[in-house]
Structure 1
Amino acid sequence: MFLILFDCDGTLVDSQETILHGLQVGFAEVGLPMPSRREALSIVGLSLERAFAQLAGADHQDKVARMAAAYRAAKQERRAAGLDFDPLYPGARAAVDRLARRDDVLLGLATGKARRGVDHMLRVHGLEGRFVTIQTADTSPSKPHPDMVLRAMAETGAEDLRTVMVGDTSFDMQMARAAGALALGVSWGYHDRTALLDAGAGAVIDTFDELDRALSAQLGWSVETI
């Protein structure tokens, strides 16, 4: 059995605008200036507290808890108002559905999002039931710690070299390799191709149309059977 793990933000869903809004709320809560867009988005994939800790800097670590709490409260308010919508990237749904139809594949998620955010994403896009293992920041240390991948392999019984982490950041690649699993980068997210390859990606794809062939190269599948 093969296990394919997907990151969420920057891999399956384009969440940059809603993430930026939440970060702005967090910085405003404690009266700190918002970082540049590029710097702010560089932390996507980390757990929320770790992301704010990195962005706020050493002199403002005492404010991190308030910033994260403000971010979460804003998220909940926007979801309740129907404003917190992150679109799927082109081809994401078809790719997930195609892999889910295979008898020799299990799908999972490994994300820095909270489980509440993951459930919202799955519900909004009608993707419930596709992922047999869901690992989040609620139960694991922040990426790049390997715990999410290790938990997913333990839950499904998948072997490390039959497991691939698909993600858009160096944190995803480092997490996968630290767990002994394979890593596949996507270029449409938050870290560039060079960063992904340097962090251990076996390959980097530019569209979801390239996913099957890339998985075939890493796992030895016949392309015709995908």
Structure 2
Amino acid sequence: MTEDLRLVVFDVDGTLVDSQNHIHAAMSHAFTSIGLHLPPRDRILAIVGLSLPEAMARLVPEHGPDTRAELVEAYKQSFATLRAGPLSPLFEGAVDMLTTLAERPDVLLGVATGKSRRGLRHILDAHGLAGHFVTAQVADDHPSKPHPSMLHAALAETGAPAARAVMIGDTSYDIEMGRAAGFHTIGVTWGYHRREALEAAGAGQVIADFAALLPALERIWEAS
């Protein structure tokens, strides 16, 4: 373990990438394709960040595992088709902030996402961001958030101590995962969960734009 390293881990959907239109469209196709009524948009966006099996379990708790598995596969097929179209945009300020952090020799960057490895690779390559991250944890390899497995793996891969690591995300699942792994946590309000939910989950700080991220990180590092 290298005590002077600082690890900063980002969620993807709702934190770096504004993917809500693609997610909603893929969910709409999935539900329609097997003859189920589509849940309201706010319920769909509330489960962003969870692995697909867990997300479907929360969206249709009244249906059994076979129906949920059908929804998962239909969603994957639809999302794969949507990837051939317009790209989900990055949130304003994301590129500049990632570049600034990546240039610091004492900072390592990572991602922890409910996306599949294929989905993450597509979005990072398309936006030219893959080279910024030294660790990338995906749903293929871990239990769903808020289980801390992704962050434990990120620590093991980088050698950074949890006491100097930060999880940044837009959902309560990100915050709960970070706290469970012993990370500092920063919630962002431009994604899918409200400030109140982030604070209730125990976010150490909550910010409203990327311009506020570096000062928030400096406050953590100065105190640790």
Scaled to the shorter chain, the TM-score interval is: over 0.9
- CA separation in 1, counterparts of 2:149 and 2:174? 12
In the other structure, the counterpart of 2:12 is 8
In the other structure, the counterpart of 1:217 is 219
- CA separation in 1, counterparts of 2:158 and 2:202? 23
Aligned length: 219
Structure 2 counterparts to residues 60-139 of structure 1, below 5 A: 60-79=64-83, 82-139=84-141
Q: Secondary structure at the match of 2:136?
A: strand
Moved more, 170-179 or 83-92: 83-92
TM-superposed deviation, 1:84: 4.9
**Paired letter, 2:204:** G
Equivalent position to 1:194, from 185, 193, 196? 196
- Is the counterpart of residue 29 in structure 1 residue 56 in structure 2? no
Q: CA RMSD in A?
A: 1.1
Equivalent position to 2:208, from 186, 206, 212? 206
Unaligned runs of 5+ in 1: 222-226
Unaligned runs of 5+ in 2: none
> For 1:97-156, what per-residue CA distance to the aligned partner results, in whole angstroms no more than 9, with x for missing partners?
000000000000000000111101111101121100000000010000000000000110
Q: Secondary structure at the match of 1:93?
A: helix
- Is the counterpart of residue 171 in structure 1 residue 181 in structure 2? no
Q: TM-score, normalised by structure 2?
A: 0.95
- CA separation in 2, counterparts of 1:198 and 1:75? 32
- CA separation in 1, counterparts of 2:197 and 2:38? 24
Contact 2:142 2:149 in 1 (8 A): yes
- CA separation in 1, counterparts of 2:219 and 2:199? 16
> For 1:182-219, what per-residue CA distance to the aligned partner results, in whole angstroms no more than 9, with x for missing partners?
11000000001111011121011100000000001112
Q: Secondary structure at the match of 1:83?
A: coil
Contact 2:22 2:82 in 1 (8 A): no
- CA separation in 1, counterparts of 2:100 and 2:109? 11
- CA separation in 2, counterparts of 1:41 and 1:61? 21
- CA separation in 2, counterparts of 1:2 and 1:59? 44
Equivalent position to 1:18, from 18, 22, 35? 22
